[in-house]
Amino acid sequence: MRALIGQSMDNSPSPVGRWLNGILRAVDHDGLTVEYSVRPEQCNPAQVLHGGIAAAMMDDLVGATVYNYTGRYHASVNLSVDYLLPARVGETITAR
């Protein structure tokens, strides 16, 4: 995965990951870091990132992290999300 740092994730084996199209920023012993640009089609009518899309970003990143360390795909069993601040169109979210 380190060879992919700085590249978009548009070649992800995950169709959702390709659609989210984050940019891999770091790979280290603590996990992966990905930046996502908030696009209009990811937002609610108030132009704020839809909570389900934020959850999808987290879930997809967890899957990529697990794959990076195990070489195997796994399904999520549970995902709990607390929304603290809004993200608006054009902003960048960093997920770790």
11-70 residue pLDDT tens: 999 999 999 999 999 999 889 999 999 999 999 999 999 999 999 999 999 999 998 889
Please state the pTM of the whole predicted model: 0.90
Which pLDDT score is estimated for 30?
Answer: 87
CB 76 within 8 A of CB 62: yes
End-to-end CA distance of the chain: 15
pLDDT band at 4 (very low <50, low <70, confident <90, very high): confident
Q: Where are the beta strands (DSSP E) in the chain?
A: 23-28, 31-37, 92-95
Whether the per-residue pLDDT at 74 is higher than 90: the answer is no
